[in-house]
Amino acid sequence: MREQSPQLVERLRAGEPAAFREMVECYQRDIYALAYDLCGNHHDAEDLSQEVFIKAFRGIGNFRADAKLGSWLYRIAMNAHIDSKRRKPVQLVSIDAYASDPEEPASDRMAELAAAEARPDQSAGAARFQVDVENALGVLSAQERTVFVLRHYHDMKIGEISESLSIAEGTVKSLLFRSMRKLRDRLSHYRDEVGDPA
């Protein structure tokens, strides 16, 4: 994750618009990537990433000058995601359902699937794999998914996740264990493809 220049926080606290833009341009890719991992589709990912920056912009007064801006933005993203999941039920995408009704507006994930299928370097099987993986992630609870993506895709240590989410390390381990078990069960057919670990 990128880190801010030392003066950026001060300029943000002073309410300098150029500093806010600088922050957004510096972190937009990281925050979008995290948001995509948390939400699993482009539309919600953009929405969440924007929400993160708006919350940061409004709450910059609460930011400790000695803290890392990137970690703070991550924390906002995680909490915003968990909050939004409390309000909105999980939705799974079914390839069969999509295929049976082509008039149905395609979800973002299906659009991504179509785009992936259109790419010559990616087979339909690979696209299906992406959908299956996203659906497997969709089975996880908001907390499980958050902990899993932070550890697996964003390389945060268990202790860091615990601190960021203000939950005990034991809880993080437990959530991670449950996530792995659910993913294992959902993706058993792909597990055989990868073979035994070295």
Partner 1 sequence: MTTCGRYRSWLVEALYGELDPARRAVFEAHLSECGECAAMLNEFQRTARVMSRRQRPDPGPEFWDGYWNRLEERVAREDSIVVDASRFARRRSLGSWGYRVAAVVALLAAGAWIGRTMWAPSPDAPMIASTQVDSTPGQVREPTDDAVDSQDVAQTTREQAPAAIDAPPTDPRPRESAPPEESGTTGGPAVLASTDAGRYLERSQLLLLAVLNGDPADSSAFDTQRQRAGELMRVASSVREASDDRRVQDLVAQLEMILREIAHLEQSSDVEAVELIRSRVDREGVLLRINMEQMRSESARGAID
Binding stretches for partner 1 (CB under 8 A): 15, 17-18, 20-21, 24-25, 28-29, 32-33, 36-37, 42, 46, 50, 53-54, 57-58, 61, 112, 115-116, 129-130, 133-134, 151-153, 157-158, 170, 173-174, 176-177, 180, 183-184, 187, 190-191, 193-197
Q: Helix 142-152 crosses helix 169-186 at what angle (to 10 degrees)?
A: 90
By the 8 A CB rule, do 176 and 147 touch? yes
Query: Whose Cβ is closer to partner 1: residue 103's or residue 192's?
Result: 192
In the complex, minimum distance from the CB of residue 109 to partner 1, in angstroms, rounded to a whole number: 10
- The CB-of-23 to partner 1 minimum distance in angstroms stands at 11
Least distance (Å) between residue 148 CB and partner 1: 8
Residue 99: Cβ-neighbour burial (10 angstroms; 0-12, 13-18, 19+): exposed
Is residue 134 within 8 A of residue 94, CB to CB? The reply is no
Name the H helices within 88-157: 95-100, 108-118, 124-139, 142-152
CB of 74 to partner 1, least distance (A): 16
Q: How far apart are CA 61 and CA 35, in angstroms?
A: 23
Whose Cβ is closer to partner 1: residue 87's or residue 101's? 87
